Chain A
Amino acid sequence: MKTELRKELLSLGAEVVGFAGLQGHMSGEIAHLDHAVSIGVARRLNEDTLCILVKLQKRAVRFLKSRGYRTLAIPPDSDRGKGTFVSKLYSLFNHKMAATSAGLGWIGKNGLLISPDYGPRLSLASVLTDAPLDPDKPVEHSLCGSCTLCMTYCPSQAITGSEWSRSSPFVELVKLSACRSHKATKRATDGKPNCGLCINICPYGRREADSQHVVQEKSARERC
């Protein structure tokens, strides 16, 4: 079942698909949905990317439902303000937690999911389910090593430089207030709230076009 679902999602445009077992990590309301399918798409963040993610999500939901399992699709973080009933529950769940548990990558110094192949350039969506999908091997430690590019280039000095590991999940990686106030200033000056430097600068999965882009446009990209 797992291989089939992964193949289907990859053929429809997902870059990475992972399966996580989250037994004991879910809060009350969603505790019975303790397996997650983590879907990543490596594209610039725009409407298309959201469309693709939502489409992939629906496909996974249909796949699992038709086999008699429950599902709860957690949409991409930037597609949440819909005011539906179930959107109240989205905040109980973290895409990055599912992604690291599904072995897709680790949490970098910039607080984002870093995949070995795509770096922090993945947009994530998850589907929770009670289907007994065999989990992939979780990533336990950061592979950022001594690299501090994101820390050096961060315009708001928000990145503390601490390293993530699954055993110490409460270490502060990014001073969110600093990051947020920088984004607010940026929004006020040029109308684009997202900074994205820590994404573009990351050497994992970087292409040359990206690094030039840093200087030119400071591309808008979501924090997944």
Chain B
Amino acid sequence: MATEEKKKELLEKLRNAVIQYDEDTAKEAANEALSTGIDANDAIFNGLVSGMVEVGRMFEAQEYFVPELLMCADALYAGLDILKPHVTQLDLGVKGSVVIGTVEGDVHDIGKNIVKMMFDVAGFTVYDLGRDVPLDKFVQEQLRTDSDLVCLSAMMTTTMTGMKKVIDDLRTRNPNVKIMIGGAPVSQDVADKYGADGYAKDATNALKDAINMIASLKKMKDEVEAKKAK
């Protein structure tokens, strides 16, 4: 088992690899973490995700711009790919599966991919439909996978209207499904009008929301562990 000191050092290394958008170091640190016996969950949340939270802050403070943000996300994935197979599934009390995609007519998927990443990190099963997804496909996929969260993304006002149709269809077929929408033209007003449950304005806010989501997941995780300890 790793000493506290070594563990701290490796978590720091993972965190910095993400902040410094260094894929190679992220991979190296992930492998080291596994070989020294650090819990993969720990490495992901307190290493990689902690780094991404800082990146989110830097992005908001305009210290980092889109290219850095994307490279940080790549570094996170590089580490995540190595750590993920070793994650012991925790019962988080939430059913983690989500259908995500950019709606028909729209090929802008950077924001969608970043949100997807955060779901991946959180251990959700992600059904990524990609971009320019026919509207019916969302409903079909939701029914097929019985996911309880559907995320829709659109970058243009012309394609945004497609989200309304998807939401209506989903509601008729399955009133319990939670729907989150996002993209540049979307606002809280639009989300309310369309009847979505959640809204994220753009990649920055999606990231922030996704981080909040992960923070609450983390909290749940801690609670579950606390219960176990009792």
Contact = CB atoms under 8 A, between A and B. Distances in A.
Interface of A: 29-30, 32-33, 58, 65, 70, 72, 84-86, 88-89
A72 to B, nearest CB: 5
Contact of A86 (B20, B24, B74, B117): B74
Contacts of A72: 67-68, 71
Interface residues of B, number: 16
B65 A86 contact: no
Interface of B: 20, 22, 24, 65-68, 70-71, 73-74, 77, 110, 113-114, 117
Contacts of A32: 65
Given A65-B20, A72-B71, A85 B65 contact: no
Contacts of B66: 29-30, 89
Given A85-B77, A85-B117, 12 more contacts: A30-B65, A65-B22, A70-B68, A72-B67, A72-B68, A84-B74, A85-B110, A86-B70, A86-B71, A86-B74, A88-B70, A89-B67
A32 B67 CA distance: 10
A89 B65 CA distance: 12
A84 B70 CA distance: 8
A70 B66 CA distance: 12
A85 B20 contact: no
A86 B110 CA distance: 9
Nearest to B110: A88
Contacts of B71: 72, 85-86
A89 to B, nearest CB: 6
A203 B71 CA distance: 40
Nearest to A88: B110
B107 to A, nearest CB: 11
Closest 7 CB pairs of A and B: A85-B70, A86-B70, A29-B66, A84-B74, A85-B73, A72-B67, A86-B71
A88 to B, nearest CB: 6
A86 B70 CA distance: 5
A89 B68 contact: no
A65 B117 CA distance: 25
A51 to B, nearest CB: 14
Contacts of B68: 70, 72
